[in-house]
Amino acid sequence: MSNIFKRIISLVLAVLMLLPLACCGKTDEEKMLEMRKNEELYTPDLSSADMALTADIDLNEIHQEIKGFGGINYPGWIDDLTKEQRETAFLNGEDQLGFTILRIHVDPDRENWQREVETAKYAYDQGALIFASPWNPPAEMCEKFNHNGNADAQRLKHDCYEQYAAHLNDFVTFMRDNGVELYAISIQNEPDYADEWTWWSTDEIMDFIKNYAGAIDCRVMSPEAFQYRKDFYNAILNDEDALAEIDVFGTHFYGTQKADMAYPLFEQNGEGKELWMTEVYVPDSSTDADVWPQAIEVAVNMHDGLVTGNMQAYVWWYIRRFYGPMKEDGTISKRGYMMAHFSKFVRPGYVRVGATEHPNPNVSVSAYKADDGKIVIVAINHSLNKLSQEFSISGGEPITYAESYMTNASVNLQRTGNIAHTDSSVSILMTPESVTTLVLETGSPAEP
């Protein structure tokens, strides 16, 4: 056989081998889903469980768009995340959190800004939104004053507002020059709880926003209140000039009760603005993050913030800490799995839809949908009872596939796949004190 003929045969064989790939062109996720749909059908045994009322999911009842979930990395106070820990935080494979937001610190000393780059660049390259918060302006811009009897309180000098806006803008430029485009930059971390950092009054905040914030070449986030106190948010929302300068309203949830999470004035005046929960730890910072069922309080706080507060983002304090989503050894904690029930499945761009919030007094339900027909339902069973929970879906195409992920005292994100369902309903078994995420695929029925 001639060398020319051999080359022709080799070329033909190579083309034939590539044809299936060219024709199919399926992603790894699509291939995995196809494989899972061929699994043996799973029907949960609900016979010994207490019945909860049906939870109705209305896909036509549209609420807020979800921006994501995440936490802060603060290498000025604790060690930077390692390469492996960055992967655990910002990738979305097995034993990974799937975080899509990173908060970083604006150090008053620009010589320390380089500390923020490595983790921020990694997260940004994975598609995460990066935002920054300052605790203090540079020392030369600050002065001491008497705040409620504290003569050592600190504030920004009133004649340094323009310099401070330039300082924040310089940080935006620095991060941009290092490959990270900030999504937003905050004006101040907790100006209402500033024993160790900088105080701002509402009048001072309004002056800065209206007259100086426009010089910052980035989305501007409001100062982030310690406890969702709304004094300066109200002032911004009621002032057209100030409101025009703010893109994202950010708040912390320390001690914030569910009844205080709703914000009618924002719903009325905040059209086109975003609303983020930008820092919290629950229930405390003194207990190990694996204590169960205490960790369920994280899922409850997230549920309340998303459903009652209409928050578009939920951002923890330290990503890696003994009381946080990632433990000091880099493994995911029980509190982290509570966050993962949302962060791994309710991805950026999903919208929250209507759901019966409490089909049982001890059950909390929220639901979300994506443009591609996926539906995610997160159900929290606070009770000591095993519960049968049915979900009835309206306003969309028929359900074609269902799977669930459950965390309780003994398992973490345990998957039950290919769950039996009808075109518009599916039932799951919820073990006592557990959280379940139900993931549904919908679409037109397959042709026979």
Q: Of 329, 332, 378, 314, which Cα lies nearest the Cα of 70?
A: 314
298/282 Cα distance (integer angstroms): 6
For 322, the token pair is 């003994």
pLDDT score for 25: 66
343/338 Cα distance (integer angstroms): 9
Q: Which of 116, 204, 279, 403 is catalytic?
A: 279
For the chain, the structural domain boundaries read 28-61+353-442, 67-348
CB 131 within 8 A of CB 103: yes
pLDDT score for 446: 55
pLDDT tens per residue, the chain (448 residues)? 444 433 433 443 343 334 443 445 667 666 666 777 677 787 888 888 888 789 999 999 999 999 999 999 999 999 999 999 999 999 999 999 999 999 999 999 999 999 999 999 999 999 999 999 999 999 999 999 999 989 999 999 999 999 999 999 999 999 999 999 999 999 999 999 998 999 999 999 999 999 999 999 999 999 999 999 999 999 999 999 999 999 999 999 999 999 999 999 999 999 999 999 999 999 999 999 999 999 999 999 999 999 999 999 999 999 999 999 999 999 999 999 999 999 999 999 999 999 999 999 999 999 999 999 999 999 999 999 999 999 999 999 999 999 999 999 999 999 998 899 999 999 999 999 999 999 999 997 655 4
pLDDT in tens, 198-214: 999 999 999 999 999 99
For 264, the token pair is 């009618």
235/156 Cα distance (integer angstroms): 20
pLDDT score for 12: 38
Q: Which residue shows structure tokens 């020059």?
A: 177
pLDDT score for 1: 46
Q: Is 279 a catalytic residue?
A: yes
Q: Is 30 a catalytic residue?
A: no
Query: Which residues, in sequence order, are bridge partners of residue 51?
Result: 388
386/35 Cα distance (integer angstroms): 30
CB 247 within 8 A of CB 184: yes
DSSP 18: H
Cβ partners under 8 Å of residue 437, min gap 6: 341, 342, 344, 345, 376, 377, 378, 379, 404, 405, 406, 413
Strands (E), 24-128: 50-51, 55-65, 68-72, 101-106
Tell me whether domains 28-61+353-442 and 67-348 share a fold: no
307/269 Cα distance (integer angstroms): 19
pLDDT score for 30: 67
304/262 Cα distance (integer angstroms): 9
DSSP 350: -
CATH no. for 28-61+353-442: 2.60.40.1180
- Alpha carbon dihedral 379, 384, 388, 390, in 10-degree steps, equals -30
CB 413 within 8 A of CB 95: no
pLDDT in tens, 103-158: 999 999 999 999 999 999 999 999 999 999 999 999 999 999 999 989 999 999 99
CB 220 within 8 A of CB 185: yes
Q: Which of 190, 245, 403, 433 is catalytic?
A: 190
pLDDT score for 29: 66
Residue type, 61: E
CATH no. for 67-348: 3.20.20.80
pLDDT score for 11: 40
Q: Of 316, 312, 223, 304, which Cα lies nearest the Cα of 262?
A: 304
**Omega within 30 of 0 (cis) for the link into 191:** no
